Structure 1
């Protein structure tokens, strides 16, 4: 689903996606409408503009995640401001790409977002990880440090996720198939009651697994 208030941009993105073989199940120029139609359209990935005429993209993310907890959101914004990026990620965005990105970079970001990777415009990934590390040093509520029972392999995969490695890189490092790595990540998400790789990365850093 493509959500952007500029018709030419929205239609252009939808056309590029369709030509690349993706099924565009819906488009919208307003945030509230996007949240309203998402449950029926059931998109796997939402390409979302940060600034919309009615509500902010951050509010849209929260609404989408309430309706469709497993949905993956790729922010596509003209703004690369640090606070905008952090607000979007904290709300549940899977990735963040500035609109100056080229078509090939955009389509690669959509593909990786659909696969569960955390995708960021170059220079922003370090900012997001830095913020997670800062949050990891804030006091935790009682019981927050209690670790669910992960297998040795799940912990190994989680450690590599925390280092920012893609599923393909993890598979090569551990001698596993891409599908097996995805299965380990999905099992870990379920055990930790998390929704996407961004939340998983934060969790791993909080546990010191990126050292």
Structure 2
């Protein structure tokens, strides 16, 4: 079973942004809520060295960096640091970089206009393995998910068969909803929703909600 991070002090965080006022402000807010901020970094290339050295639970990274692409940094972290989760932030919402970041391995995406409370909650949920998205991005994620229901392109491996209910649950999980929110939306118990998530992950040979979300989006994108 995955480790849970209910105590903010157990969540180590690296904050990455090339704007010092915003970067240090986020670090202060996180520290004030008890999170263990281990480093603040101005560029994504240095982030990779810091993350490799500190192995933080969460990297909060601005998508709009000038040097090494933040998406490439996300991909490297996802591929080489399996215990580290990446929460991407940006001043914009709804552009294609959202999907590219999630495909690369980001656990979530939040706009910088989010409140401090929303950011704290997003970091906590990211640490615990949830897929976290700014509410306004749900339509974008769902739009890409809808392509998944059409079926694979010629030559692609067949998509494992899911039940109608599993498909419904995956559809909502892919927008970043919690089990409780999915349960309320579908009129089910939380335990039933969690069982569907586990069954779906087992069928797809995946391990957590982040991987389920990445699967839904990646399989849904036209090549």
The TM tier, using the shorter chain, reads 0.7 to 0.9
Deviation, structure 1 residue 145? 2.9
Confirm or deny: 8 A CA contact 1:70 1:195 kept in the other structure: no
Partner secondary structure for residue 26 of structure 1:
strand
Once the two structures are superposed, the pairs formed by residues 35-54 of structure 1 within 5 Å of their partners are 35-54=48-67
For residue 91 of structure 1, the aligned residue among 93, 96, 104 is: 104
Partners in 2 of 1:206 and 1:66 — Cα distance? 16
**Contact preservation (8 Å) 1:159, 1:204:** no
1:145 corresponds in structure 2 to: 159
CA–CA distance in structure 2, aligned partners of residues 52 and 161 of structure 1: 32
State the Cα distance separating 1:156 from its structure 2 match.
6.6
CA distance in structure 2 between the aligned counterparts of 1:142 and 1:63, rounded to whole angstroms: 25
Match of 2:27 in 1: 14
1:92-129 deviations in Å (ceiling 9; x for gaps): 21211111111111112212222222222222111112
TM-score, with normalisation over the residues of structure 2? 0.73
Would you say the 8 A contact 2:89–2:112 is kept in 1? yes
Distance 1:140 1:107, change over 3 A: farther
How far, CA to CA, are the matches of 2:133 and 2:189 in structure 1?
24
Cα distance between partner residues in 2 of 1:135 and 1:170 = 19
Moved more, 4-13 or 197-206: 197-206
- Is 1:119 matched with 2:128? no
- Residue 49 of structure 1 deviates from its aligned partner by 0.3
Structure 2 counterparts to residues 49-128 of structure 1, below 5 A: 49-128=62-141
Moved more, 113-122 or 58-67: 113-122
Q: CA deviation at 1:31?
A: 0.7
Matched, 1:166 2:178: yes
RMSD: 3.3
Match of residue 23 from structure 1 = 36
What CA deviation, in whole Å up to 9, does each residue of 1:33-69 have, x standing for no partner?
A: 1112212211111111002131111111011112213
Change in Cα spacing, 1:142 to 1:82, as seen in structure 2 (3 Å) is closer
Cα gap change, 1:156/1:174 in structure 2, threshold over 3 Å: closer, same or farther? farther
32-41 or 55-64, which deviates more: 32-41
For 1:28 and 1:186, locate their aligned partners in 2 and report how far apart those are by CA, in whole Å: 36
Aligned length: 199
Of 164, 184, 209, 1:197 maps to: 209
- Tell me the distance in 2 between the aligned counterparts of 1:59 and 1:124: 21
Q: Following the alignment from structure 1 to structure 2, what is the Cα–Cα distance between the partners of residues 190 and 76?
A: 30
